[in-house]
């Protein structure tokens, strides 16, 4: 939620935070296990919540844990204890990792957040959902729908994994990926690094050579000449061969990366890169400020003194891609002719412009498999924002879409459906009980085989009818709810887009699926809110 509040509000909140007595609620159920989400484990939820509490200077009254309880009902021991403590005034703030921890039952969860908590003056925060009932954030409007938004599932998962990974990084745990050259993952503890002696001796050698005054280029040349195995060879990288370096050849950049890596003095440096967005696979380099560094987490290969001595010798900012600009439309552009991605070049010094270029063309320039697709990016962005504005205005003004969606959604309808569903569920249970009973009666010869068959057939027919109706109704309820929440979300995005002067990538990505650019400069925009 820090995204949405100003500094003044923040100070105000910090002083307010002192009066909060916090209950942390944690839930793990069997159903979660199936999804193999380690991020949902009790330990993970706990460490995320404690981190949050620490960062926001809050006081914890107690932690409530329901291990192995489903979220589809509220009959859970520690949840009841939590309610007790709210009612006796021992806590006035509840924090969960996300809304689904509170419950997966849409109506029950909505009731808690919209009625119960406000009535008891309880502030509720769902950390990874960015929900805070005391902040006037647009996220809260969608809170009741959050629990049932299947189409947003992917986003949710990616956010959850991210924040759980970050919690681990902050504890100095190695969270996976390729280990830095010179280290292996500890076999007994995958979050720890241990030295790989063979590789470590190469790292030491490189630092020595640098101290002797050799340039990156000379170090690389020397190692190549001696046939020293490169990191790529150790990792068995698939060789793409599209730039002028042969497999098994050391490169100045590799040397530089090794010489500047703080991992070698025993500090854990993570979160160096991140995905642009859950929809876009592209990975970007993070700013130095976003790195998560924890000191002395593993055995050092290089002495601190030597390391800092070497840093003095390294020319600053030599890497060309260090400060890569992120554009509003990064990752959304595709070539309309060959289907490959279109990338955006870095700004040229002479006129401060950047251009689009088809990746397929760029990679195989000589083979002429596609054409440049070169456009002035800033101009292109303006055109696209303009078209998007028009599409949004069109959508907003199209009353038919609205009435179609809203027709099915009267409150009475919803309540009736819910009631009927409950009745059906009771009936089904009753019929099953009856079936059991007549079977027992038959076993005890209270009824004849013939009587049994007759009643059984009748009950089974009845059961069939009820079950069919139940699943029909259930599907239609879920369908309606999904439609409704999707519709509300999109409206929310569109309104934000139309009222904002400066757009965030996040917002653009929520509205646009894909932009295709053709060589004749025509553009096709696929937006999420219109099927075409």
Contact 136, 89 (CB under 8 A): no
The C-alpha R_g of the chain, in whole angstroms, comes to 30
Going by C-alpha positions, the residue among 294, 217, 290 that lies closest to residue 252 is 217
Q: Is 360 in the site for Zn ion (CB under 5 A)?
A: yes
Q: Which residue from 194, 338, 405, 435 is in contact with Zn ion, where contact means CB under 5 A?
A: 338
Q: Which stretch binds Zn ion (CB under 5 A): 23-31, 93-101, 201-209, 350-358?
A: 350-358
Token pair in block for residue 368: 């002429």
Measured from the CB of residue 344, what is the shortest distance to Zn ion in angstroms?
Answer: 14
What's the residue count for the chain?
532
Place of tokens 């503890």: 189
Please say which residue, 20 or 360, places its beta carbon nearer to Zn ion.
360
Please say which residue, 232 or 333, places its beta carbon nearer to Zn ion.
333
First to last CA, the chain: 35
Please say which residue, 275 or 340, places its beta carbon nearer to Zn ion.
340
How many whole angstroms separate alpha carbon 332 and alpha carbon 527? 11
How many whole angstroms separate alpha carbon 275 and alpha carbon 162? 10
Q: What is the DSSP secondary structure assignment for residue 90, as one 8-state letter?
A: S
**Burial class of residue 41 (count of CB atoms within 10 Å of its CB; 0-12, 13-18, 19+):** middle
Please say which residue, 297 or 375, places its beta carbon nearer to Zn ion.
375
Measured from the CB of residue 359, what is the shortest distance to Zn ion in angstroms?
Answer: 7
Contact 152, 489 (CB under 8 A): yes
Please say which residue, 21 or 340, places its beta carbon nearer to Zn ion.
340
Contact positions with Zn ion (CB under 5 A) in 308-337: 335, 337
Long-range contacts from 370-373, C-beta under 8 angstroms, 24+ separation: 370/335, 370/337, 370/338, 370/340, 371/337, 371/519, 372/519, 373/335, 373/337, 373/342, 373/517, 373/518, 373/519
Contact 230, 254 (CB under 8 A): yes
Contact positions with Zn ion (CB under 5 A) in 23-62: none
Q: Which stretch binds Zn ion (CB under 5 A): 36-44, 100-108, 369-377, 500-508?
A: 369-377
Q: Which residue from 302, 358, 490, 517 is in contact with Zn ion, where contact means CB under 5 A?
A: 358
Measured from the CB of residue 501, what is the shortest distance to Zn ion in angstroms?
Answer: 33
Measured from the CB of residue 24, what is the shortest distance to Zn ion in angstroms?
Answer: 52
The strand pair at 512-517 and 356-358 is best described as: unpaired
- DSSP string spanning 127-183? TTTTEETTS--HHHHTHHHHTT-GGGHHHHHHHHHHHHHHHHHHTT----SSPPTTE
Number of helical (H) and strand (E) elements in the chain, helices listed first: 21, 16
Please say which residue, 207 or 360, places its beta carbon nearer to Zn ion.
360
Measured from the CB of residue 420, what is the shortest distance to Zn ion in angstroms?
Answer: 55
How many whole angstroms separate alpha carbon 65 and alpha carbon 82? 10
Q: Which stretch binds Zn ion (CB under 5 A): 100-108, 155-163, 370-378, 480-488?
A: 370-378
Contact 235, 178 (CB under 8 A): yes
Contact 296, 267 (CB under 8 A): yes
Contact 515, 329 (CB under 8 A): yes
Measured from the CB of residue 334, what is the shortest distance to Zn ion in angstroms?
Answer: 9
Q: Is 424 in the site for Zn ion (CB under 5 A)?
A: no
Measured from the CB of residue 335, what is the shortest distance to Zn ion in angstroms?
Answer: 3
Measured from the CB of residue 377, what is the shortest distance to Zn ion in angstroms?
Answer: 16
Q: Which stretch binds Zn ion (CB under 5 A): 96-104, 212-220, 358-366, 510-518?
A: 358-366
Please say which residue, 268 or 358, places its beta carbon nearer to Zn ion.
358
Please say which residue, 232 or 370, places its beta carbon nearer to Zn ion.
370
Please say which residue, 237 or 518, places its beta carbon nearer to Zn ion.
518
Contact positions with Zn ion (CB under 5 A) in 483-512: none
Please say which residue, 134 or 360, places its beta carbon nearer to Zn ion.
360
Measured from the CB of residue 372, what is the shortest distance to Zn ion in angstroms?
Answer: 9
Measured from the CB of residue 391, what is the shortest distance to Zn ion in angstroms?
Answer: 25
Measured from the CB of residue 290, what is the shortest distance to Zn ion in angstroms?
Answer: 33
Please say which residue, 86 or 370, places its beta carbon nearer to Zn ion.
370
Question: How many chain residues bind Zn ion (CB under 5 A)?
Answer: 6
Measured from the CB of residue 370, what is the shortest distance to Zn ion in angstroms?
Answer: 3
Please say which residue, 263 or 335, places its beta carbon nearer to Zn ion.
335
Q: Is 209 in the site for Zn ion (CB under 5 A)?
A: no
In the stretch 149-188, what mask flags binding to Zn ion with x, by CB under 5 A? Answer: ----------------------------------------
Count the alpha carbons within 13 Å of 442 in the hemisphere toward its beta carbon.
Answer: 15
Query: Can you list the alpha helix ranges (DSSP code H) found in 356-448?
Result: 359-363, 377-397, 399-407, 411-443
Contacts of 130 (CB under 8 A, 6+ apart): 1, 3, 4, 137, 139
Q: Which residue from 143, 370, 508, 517 is in contact with Zn ion, where contact means CB under 5 A?
A: 370
Residue ranges that bind Zn ion, judged by CB under 5 A: 335, 337-338, 358, 360, 370
């Amino acid at each position: 939620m820090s995204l949405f509040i100003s500094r003044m509000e923040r100070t105000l909140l910090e002083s307010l935070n002192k009066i909060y007595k916090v209950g942390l609620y944690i839930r793990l159920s069997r159903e979660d296990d199936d999804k193999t989400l380690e991020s949902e484990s009790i330990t993970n939820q706990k460490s995320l919540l404690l981190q949050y509490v620490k960062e926001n200077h809050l006081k914890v009254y107690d932690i409530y844990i329901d291990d192995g309880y489903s979220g589809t009902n509220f009959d859970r021991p520690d949840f009841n204890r939590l309610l007790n403590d709210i009612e006796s005034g021992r806590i006035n703030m509840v924090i969960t990792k996300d809304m689904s921890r509170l419950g997966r039952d849409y109506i029950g969860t909505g009731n808690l957040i919209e009625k119960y908590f406000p009535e008891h003056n309880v502030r509720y925060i769902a950390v990874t959902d960015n929900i805070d009932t005391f902040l006037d954030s647009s996220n809260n409007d969608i809170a009741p729908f959050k629990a049932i938004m299947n189409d947003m599932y992917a986003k949710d998962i990616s956010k959850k994994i991210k924040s759980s990974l970050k919690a681990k990084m902050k504890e100095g745990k190695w969270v996976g990926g390729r280990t830095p050259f010179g280290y292996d993952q500890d076999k007994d503890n995958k979050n720890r690094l241990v030295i790989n002696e063979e590789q470590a001796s190469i790292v030491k050698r490189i630092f020595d050579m640098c101290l002797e005054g050799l340039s990156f280029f000379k170090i690389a040349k020397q190692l190549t000449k001696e046939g020293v195995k490169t990191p790529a060879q150790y990792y068995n990288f698939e060789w793409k061969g599209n730039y002028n370096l042969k497999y098994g050849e050391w490169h100045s950049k590799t040397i530089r990366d090794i010489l500047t890596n703080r991992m070698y003095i025993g500090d854990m440096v993570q979160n160096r890169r991140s995905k642009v967005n859950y929809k876009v696979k592209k990975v970007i380099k993070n700013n130095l400020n976003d790195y998560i560094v924890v000191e002395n987490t593993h055995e050092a290969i290089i002495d601190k003194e030597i390391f800092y001595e070497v840093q003095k010798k390294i020319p600053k900012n030599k890497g060309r891609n260090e400060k890569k600009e992120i554009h509003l439309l990064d990752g959304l552009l595709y070539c309309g002719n060959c289907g490959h991605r279109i990338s955006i070049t870095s700004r040229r010094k002479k006129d401060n412009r950047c251009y689009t270029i088809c990746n397929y063309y760029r990679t195989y320039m000589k083979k002429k498999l596609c054409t440049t697709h070169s456009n002035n990016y800033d101009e292109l962005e303006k055109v696209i924002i303009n078209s998007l504005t028009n599409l949004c205005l069109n959508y907003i003004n199209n009353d038919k879409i609205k009435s179609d969606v809203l027709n099915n959604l009267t409150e009475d309808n919803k309540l009736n459906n819910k009631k009927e569903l409950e009745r059906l569920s009771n009936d089904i249970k009753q019929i099953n009980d009856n079936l059991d009973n007549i079977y027992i009666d038959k076993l005890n010869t209270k009824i004849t085989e013939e009587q049994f068959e007759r009643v059984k057939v009748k009950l089974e027919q009845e059961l069939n009818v009820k079950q069919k109706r139940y699943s029909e109704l259930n599907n239609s309820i879920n369908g309606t709810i999904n439609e409704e929440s999707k519709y509300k979300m999109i409206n929310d995005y569109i309104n934000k887009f139309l009222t904002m002067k400066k757009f965030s990538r996040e917002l653009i990505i929520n509205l646009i699926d894909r932009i295709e650019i053709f060589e004749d400069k025509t553009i096709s925009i696929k937006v999420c809110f219109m099927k075409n």
